[in-house]
Amino acid sequence: MWLVIRTLLIGVMGSLIAHWIGLPSAWLIGALIAVVSVAVGGVQVAMPASTSSVVSLFLGISVALNIDAELVSQLINWSRSAILMCFMMAALLFVMYRYYARLPGWRKEEALFCAVPGNLAIMLSMASEANANVRRIALIHSVRLVFLVFLVPLFLPLAEREVSWRGFYIERPEQMLLTLLLALILGLLLQKVRVPASMLVGGILATLILKFSFDWHWRFPDMVMLTLLVFLGCAIASRFNGLVLREVVPELKAATGGLIITLVISSSFAAALHFYANIPWTQAMLAYAPGGMEVMIAIAMNQNVDALFVATHQMFRMLMMSMMIPALMLLIKRR
């Protein structure tokens, strides 16, 4: 418990410093930089495993609060972008797998797990069952995630929210609490049946049910959202706990090369979506980002773009990868 509190204190201090010096997306980036720095320096850091799920729950609710009937009717118009995303994921898997598989000392299974855009928890579970190098796979994914989480908010800053006691004011506390309760119940039920991004989906479904059934209109206080960003930054950064840089130089080099390839491919497909489907560039980039789902959705909500579009495509990516990897594993083993 003390370790978690210490990690949060480090993250909060980093966020406050970043906010004070005017760093873009200070509450997320500040916590991320601070916790990564001390972790690499040998300080023990840790966050509860459920942190990402809690953040996803709140983000799902926040996304759904901005959905109206007209927006829901547009879902069918997103088929082209979903199909294009399938091609992007296929390209990413093919190129990244070939890249990692050619590195000395890498097994084919490890190359496949590292090639998958996102889905770290699922990949680590499968990697453990396949007796693959779990630490290597976790490191590759973590480096990619940290770079995405660090770089994207720098170019697409999160809107600054009010930092004061007024930022804790809740307009309709009873609606918020009931929505959170239903979202948690639905999220846990979806988790039981292994639905990807279950808490995010649960938050969206619960909010839509209550919103359209009872015409509820409310929003989270600003300070709640800022707190979530700090928690998210700490949770992502804590993956580097116990990392000794000199021992993982080959993996870091491999991760850097893979990151460059990933960014080139995903940004190319995002550009295609932007030019041929007339989707705003920012929206296309966030929707096609290969990881960091919670952060991409949070940025979308602050960039005046369609957060539902981004959330839907990010969830679609997770679902497709979860379905494809077992089949690809069988294919690799037969070769």
| Rounded-to-integer distance, Cα 172 and Cα 192, Å | 31
Two tokens, residue 91: 């390209």
- Quote the pLDDT of residue 156: 59
What is the CB neighbour count within 10 angstroms for residue 304? 11
Two tokens, residue 192: 């039981």
Q: Is residue 90 part of a domain?
A: yes
- Quote the pLDDT of residue 60: 82
Q: Is residue 89 part of a domain?
A: yes
Per-residue pLDDT of the chain (335 residues; tens, 9 = 90+): 789 999 999 999 999 998 888 766 678 778 888 998 898 888 899 988 788 788 888 878 887 887 766 555 666 677 888 889 999 999 998 999 999 989 888 888 888 888 887 766 666 656 665 677 777 887 787 777 777 777 766 665 555 555 555 556 677 888 999 999 999 999 999 889 877 668 888 888 999 899 888 888 888 887 887 888 888 888 878 877 877 777 678 888 888 898 899 989 999 999 999 998 888 888 898 899 887 777 788 778 777 778 888 888 887 887 677 667 667 766 666 66
Q: Is residue 303 part of a domain?
A: yes
CB distance 145 to 262 below 8 Å: no
Is the entire prediction scored with pTM above 0.85? Answer: no
- Quote the pLDDT of residue 122: 61
- Quote the pLDDT of residue 179: 94
CB distance 32 to 236 below 8 Å: yes
| Rounded-to-integer distance, Cα 31 and Cα 297, Å | 18
Beta strands, E only, the chain? none
CA distances to 62, 161, 209 from 70, in Å? 18, 28, 16
Q: Is residue 28 part of a domain?
A: no
- Quote the pLDDT of residue 297: 80
Q: Is residue 11 part of a domain?
A: no
Q: Is residue 76 part of a domain?
A: yes
Domain extent for 76: 49-134+154-220+245-334
Q: Is residue 278 part of a domain?
A: yes
Domain count, the chain: 1
Q: Is residue 267 part of a domain?
A: yes
